[in-house]
Amino acid sequence: MYLTQALHRWASATLAGVATACGERVRTFAETRERVSRLAGGLRRIGVAHEDRVGILSLNSDRYIESLFAIPWADGVLNPVNIRWSPTEIAYSLEDSQTRVLIVDDVFAQAVPAVQAIYPGLRTVIHAGDGPTPDFAISYEELITESEPTGDACRSGDDLAGIFYTGGTTGAPKGVMLTHANLVSAALGGLASGSFFRHGVTPRSLHVAPVFHLADFAFFLMTSIGGGANIAVPMFDPENVLELIGTQSVTDTLLVPTMIQMLADHPKVSAYDMSSLRTIVYGASPISPALLGRAQNAWPTVDFVQAYGMTELAALATILPAADHSDGTRQRSAGLMAPISEVRIADGDGTNVPHGVVGEIWVRGPQVMRGYWHKPQETTEALQNGWMRTGDAGYLDEDGYLYIVDRLKDMIITGGENVYSSEVENALAQHKAVAACAVIGLPDERWGERVHAVIVRAPHSSVTAAELQVHTRNLIAGYKVPRSVSFVDALPISGAGKILKRSLRDTIENSSRS
Amino acid sequence: MYLTQALHRWASATLAGVATACGERVRTFAETRERVSRLAGGLRRIGVAHEDRVGILSLNSDRYIESLFAIPWADGVLNPVNIRWSPTEIAYSLEDSQTRVLIVDDVFAQAVPAVQAIYPGLRTVIHAGDGPTPDFAISYEELITESEPTGDACRSGDDLAGIFYTGGTTGAPKGVMLTHANLVSAALGGLASGSFFRHGVTPRSLHVAPVFHLADFAFFLMTSIGGGANIAVPMFDPENVLELIGTQSVTDTLLVPTMIQMLADHPKVSAYDMSSLRTIVYGASPISPALLGRAQNAWPTVDFVQAYGMTELAALATILPAADHSDGTRQRSAGLMAPISEVRIADGDGTNVPHGVVGEIWVRGPQVMRGYWHKPQETTEALQNGWMRTGDAGYLDEDGYLYIVDRLKDMIITGGENVYSSEVENALAQHKAVAACAVIGLPDERWGERVHAVIVRAPHSSVTAAELQVHTRNLIAGYKVPRSVSFVDALPISGAGKILKRSLRDTIENSSRS
């Protein structure tokens, strides 16, 4: 199993099949194979050798997709860098992984001097942009035109494919080592579920979420394996996305719930032709029933599919099929074990608990990471006999559906009672005036922690804290009802689309102190 | 990746999910896991150790399915024996693979003394039948009840999963070594194509073709990964199969074209309820347009899907999706490369030939066998840089569809011209009076070989050789038209459902000499 197989297959198979599209540029698989083999030749010429890490710091583009094939083709290891990071964080991840070659686009070329000031080990910068190539960089397009094609190193199986730094919400970033088998088996497992893409339709996938994040990376790989076109969008802009779906005949896209909300609630949502769209895959967090309802109203023929996973699992553990989105209970679950996964729920000793009982979610399968780069202790803590301890809490129902209760570390302990934020968030989200919400624990003299809700109001709503407290009291136990509420315009989200609860907590604590 | 993962997954996930059904016996995944772990404990108790081969010589049954899980669970290696073989051939394959433990059913218990007379190394026989256990055997059910459950050895990845003897139509049987990764990736690749099973329907798969053959083995594995029920039928009987589809709510089945013909042409075909049936997978040979038409008339809501592969490829190289069966041209192809396959067409030097040009079919992917058991030279000839040389001739069209022209060794050379039997067979099959046919080369003083057709007439037809010659002359070149024709009641088929052309050739040559 190897990342580049899909490119080999479709370039050999079809003359006309489209591999990438970005703005006006459209390239077939055969053209892409030619460019990738030359780019790989160029990487080798500038000194990329066996297992050297090559970073990519760029908005989504067709060149990003080409680089994802070219780096392993050249015998290198991918390091897709989080575009939301500061120069300090970027330099940390490059230095930690000893990445000496970095591909940047026009936007991120500007960050290079600041990064190199911190990490001088970054010796070569390749500029993959449309603007002029900066002095400190070499040109991506020239590297392609001036290099001879090279044969694919055919890195495969247990060979290291990439180091993916977790944009986790707590602690220092860790480099997740994923092999070719990890990545390809996760993509095959996703496809094997039958939940992604529609049988018989060649996918045209819109990459709106950043491809450096493993959820969208997996979506890129599934699309490629399926012989589909990867359509790259540099940044999420609701109106642009609505327009592109029609003009590019997009069949599938992967979004985080926040993006779905911004599209579904957009005033011009009904003005655009979305008839080509078959499936919206979402992840990072469950979708609230109220938002799902609005999205289904907006696009009645679109399937909604949820994937649950994490970087350490090549982004895939469970899948909630489209059909289960019409079931009020199952719609709140993370779905069934993917065709490559085993999931078990364990107590603190690692012993299985019965169906219906909450415990820590453990996952096993060919997608489980090799480990954390140069972090043997964290690796030992995370991996046990092939199982990945996710750190998430949940339970399995009797039909095998996984319900995620919360990230263990996000649990709020108030007056000695455990409160899982997601339960409170689900209750809040059922109020029609709530567009988005997050529930956190804030320090409280009386209760230790108190349940606090942060709310994004729906357009034109002026709902009050008291009204929301009355609403939730009808749905959940009194001690779970938010004792305090604040209203914001938008929630801070990570590159992975997760709500940054720590940042939310810091902001609110600071503002209440000031 | 490991064979037993599907059992672990679904036994953990669901309380009620059905794993196997055989006659009146129905067992859940949880019950099956319990029986498998005890059977594995029993196998270890009777001395099965690391990588010991364990044979299975049995008609399809639920116990066959359990054994397929239990043998790797016990750290053993599978050797599913061809049930069409003579005791001499069975003894050959057991001795060649040094298989010392054999599981047999009621039918094949009778063959054991003859096999042991030739191969005394067969030290232990396990009787997995419903009748009395013979003196020379130990009871399968007692082995389960009297053994403690043992933990899964978790053989996986590149570990040897089984030795599968090719029921090839020429030469001595060769033991094809397939790893866990080979088998599981082929099954995932099949599922990932979206062509098997219907999304959202838990499969109930009817095993009519013998599961020792890798096509049905792959079908068993896909069903298990998908959480479906494997319904075992000991022998193919058309009326019984028609009845079982309704009574067992069968959703999917795998048949060879000969079986499809016997079902579609059965006088009572319309008397049975087939409303649960979604997909008929067929392989071994393409289906003639005439037969496909009759089958589609009989079951208008059923999808027909073709898979092309061979034992050395864990049975999967390409897949022809249901939708392409309505296209007269594509319907004759073997479909598109499966999501795990690369296919290339090479000339005698191994160099790629252009689209549309016939050459030898080479296949690469994670499903390619490790090699032939104890046959290094044959392995070297078959495997080159990860590619499997299939020995089949074909071409790719510009959209990537593979057309198989013939098995290279079956090509007829008549008067210096190459004739591919399949082309002649396709022409013959378009005559409505032809139920089935096979074209072979017979020795001929004038032409070297002459094209000879063996015909099974459709019911109530009395078509003559001359009429068929006129018919084919309108479709193909004169030198390809059969110079002689014989009529038979049925064609001899191998365990794999392939027409035994060598046997046909021998029979006809002998009868023409006598």
| Domain spans of chain A, in order of start | 5-181, 328-408, 411-513
**Confidence category of residue A169, pLDDT binned at 50, 70, 90:** very low
Tokens of A35: 């460019």
Residue B228 has pLDDT above 50, yes or no: yes
Q: Cβ contacts (< 8 Å) between B3 and chain A: which residues? A: none
- Picking from B13, B322, B337, the nearest residue to A9 by CB comes out as B337
User: How many percent of chain A have pLDDT more than 90?
Assistant: 72
**Confidence category of residue A288, pLDDT binned at 50, 70, 90:** confident
Residue B94 CA from chain centroid, whole number: 20
pLDDT at A259: 87
Among chain A residues, CA nearest to B345: A12
- Picking from B13, B194, B337, the nearest residue to A194 by CB comes out as B194
Chain-chain contact of B400 with A344 (C-beta, under 8 angstroms): no
Chain-chain contact of B192 with A191 (C-beta, under 8 angstroms): yes
Fold of A5-181: Rossmann fold (3.40.50)
Least Cα separation, residue A1 to chain B (angstroms): 6
Tokens of B450: 């002459």
**Confidence category of residue B408, pLDDT binned at 50, 70, 90:** low
**Confidence category of residue B495, pLDDT binned at 50, 70, 90:** low
Chain-chain contact of A199 with B200 (C-beta, under 8 angstroms): no
Nearest to A476 by CA among A438, A426, A435: A426
Among chain B residues, CA nearest to A200: B323
pLDDT digits (tens, 9 = 90+) for B95-132: 999 999 999 999 999 999 999 999 999 999 999 999 99
Query: Distance (Å, rounded) from C-alpha B165 to C-alpha B175?
Result: 4
CA dist B138 → B42, B132, B146 (Å): 11, 10, 12
A432 or A287, higher pLDDT: A432
pLDDT mean over A36-65: 98
pLDDT digits (tens, 9 = 90+) for A346-374: 988 899 999 999 899 999 999 999 999 99
Calculate the average pLDDT of chain B: 91
Nearest to B123 by CA among B106, B146, B98: B98
Under 8 Å between Cβ of A99 and A53: yes
pLDDT at A507: 84
pLDDT digits (tens, 9 = 90+) for A328-343: 889 889 999 999 999 9
Residue B323 has pLDDT above 50, yes or no: yes
* Per-residue three-class SS string for B379-404: HHHHEECCEEEEEEEEEECCCCCEEE
Query: Distance (Å, rounded) from C-alpha B180 to C-alpha B185?
Result: 8
Chain-chain contact of A14 with B400 (C-beta, under 8 angstroms): yes
pLDDT at A170: 46
pLDDT at B407: 60
DSSP string, B180-222: HHHHHHHHHHHHHTT-SS-TTS--EEEE-S-TTSHHHHHHHHH
Residue A400 has pLDDT above 60, yes or no: yes
**Confidence category of residue B167, pLDDT binned at 50, 70, 90:** low
- Picking from B9, B323, B341, the nearest residue to A341 by CB comes out as B9
**Is the ipTM here above 0.90?**
no
Q: Cβ contacts (< 8 Å) between A396 and chain B: which residues? A: 12-13
Residue A453 has pLDDT above 60, yes or no: yes
Q: Cβ contacts (< 8 Å) between A196 and chain B: which residues? A: none
pLDDT at B59: 97
CA atoms within 13 A on the CB side of B221: 32
pLDDT at B168: 44
pLDDT at B261: 85
Q: Cβ contacts (< 8 Å) between B386 and chain A: which residues? A: 154
pLDDT digits (tens, 9 = 90+) for B59-68: 999 999 999 9
How many Cβ pairs within 8 Å bridge chains A and B?
118
Is residue A408 helix, strand or coil?
helix
Which pairing describes strands A175-179 and A160-165: parallel, antiparallel, or unpaired?
antiparallel
Query: Distance (Å, rounded) from C-alpha B136 to C-alpha A329?
Result: 56
Nearest to A23 by CA among A56, A59, A62: A62
pLDDT at A407: 61
Lowest mean pLDDT of A79-88, A196-205, A243-252, B500-509, name the range.
B500-509
Query: Distance (Å, rounded) from C-alpha B303 to C-alpha B325?
Result: 9
User: How many percent of chain A have pLDDT more than 70?
Assistant: 95
Q: Cβ contacts (< 8 Å) between B195 and chain A: which residues? A: 199
Tokens of A52: 């050297």
Question: Which residues, other chains included, contact A464 with Cβ-Cβ below 8 Å and sequence gap of 6+?
Answer: none
pLDDT mean over A2-16: 94
Least Cα separation, residue A226 to chain B (angstroms): 7
pLDDT mean over A14-36: 96
Angle at A299 between CA A296 and CA A302, to 5 degrees: 85
Among chain B residues, CA nearest to A187: B192
Q: Cβ contacts (< 8 Å) between B10 and chain A: which residues? A: 400
Lowest mean pLDDT of A105-114, A210-219, A410-419, B434-443, name the range.
A410-419
- Picking from A188, A322, A400, the nearest residue to B339 by CB comes out as A188
- Picking from A10, A13, A399, the nearest residue to B14 by CB comes out as A399
Q: Residue for token digits 């790259």?
A: A232
DSSP string, B37-53: HHHHHHHHHTT--TT-E
Chain-chain contact of B336 with A13 (C-beta, under 8 angstroms): yes
Chain-chain contact of B195 with A192 (C-beta, under 8 angstroms): no
Question: Which residues, other chains included, contact B267 with Cβ-Cβ below 8 Å and sequence gap of 6+?
Answer: none
Nearest to B227 by CA among B487, B21, B37, B11: B11
Q: First and final CA of chain A: distance in angstroms?
A: 56
Chain-chain contact of B8 with A342 (C-beta, under 8 angstroms): yes
Least Cα separation, residue A434 to chain B (angstroms): 32
User: How many percent of chain B have pLDDT more than 70?
Assistant: 95
Q: Chain A interface, mutation test: which of B12, B340, B370, most A Cβ atoms within 10 Å?
A: B12
Superfamily of domain B417-513: ANL, C-terminal domain (3.30.300.30)
Least Cα separation, residue A225 to chain B (angstroms): 6
Q: Chain A interface, mutation test: which of B15, B188, B252, B362, most A Cβ atoms within 10 Å?
A: B188
pLDDT digits (tens, 9 = 90+) for B279-319: 999 986 667 778 888 899 899 999 999 999 999 999 999 99
Residue A106 has pLDDT above 90, yes or no: yes
- Picking from A8, A343, A398, the nearest residue to B342 by CB comes out as A8
Looking at domain A411-513, its CATH architecture is 2-Layer Sandwich (3.30)
Query: Distance (Å, rounded) from C-alpha B178 to C-alpha B309?
Result: 14
pLDDT at B286: 64
Among chain B residues, CA nearest to A192: B192
Fold of B28-179: Rossmann fold (3.40.50)
Residue B245 has pLDDT above 80, yes or no: yes
Q: Cβ contacts (< 8 Å) between A320 and chain B: which residues? A: none
Superfamily of domain A328-408: Luciferase; Domain 3 (2.30.38.10)
Q: Cβ contacts (< 8 Å) between B359 and chain A: which residues? A: none
A492 or B275, higher pLDDT: B275
Q: Cβ contacts (< 8 Å) between B334 and chain A: which residues? A: none
- Picking from B15, B341, B396, the nearest residue to A398 by CB comes out as B15
pLDDT at B509: 77
Least Cα separation, residue A358 to chain B (angstroms): 15
- Picking from A13, A199, A352, the nearest residue to B400 by CB comes out as A13
Q: Which of A162-166, A411-415, B254-258, B419-423 has the highest mean pLDDT?
A: A162-166
Q: How many residues does chain A have?
A: 514
Q: Cβ contacts (< 8 Å) between B17 and chain A: which residues? A: 400
Query: Distance (Å, rounded) from C-alpha A164 to C-alpha A189?
Result: 20
**Confidence category of residue A167, pLDDT binned at 50, 70, 90:** low
Q: Chain A interface, mutation test: which of B324, B342, B363, most A Cβ atoms within 10 Å?
A: B342
Which parts of A29-89 are beta strand (E)?
53-57, 77-80
Chain-chain contact of B194 with A191 (C-beta, under 8 angstroms): yes
Least Cα separation, residue B227 to chain A (angstroms): 9
Q: Cβ contacts (< 8 Å) between B387 and chain A: which residues? A: none
Calculate the average pLDDT of chain A: 91
Residue B412 has pLDDT above 90, yes or no: no
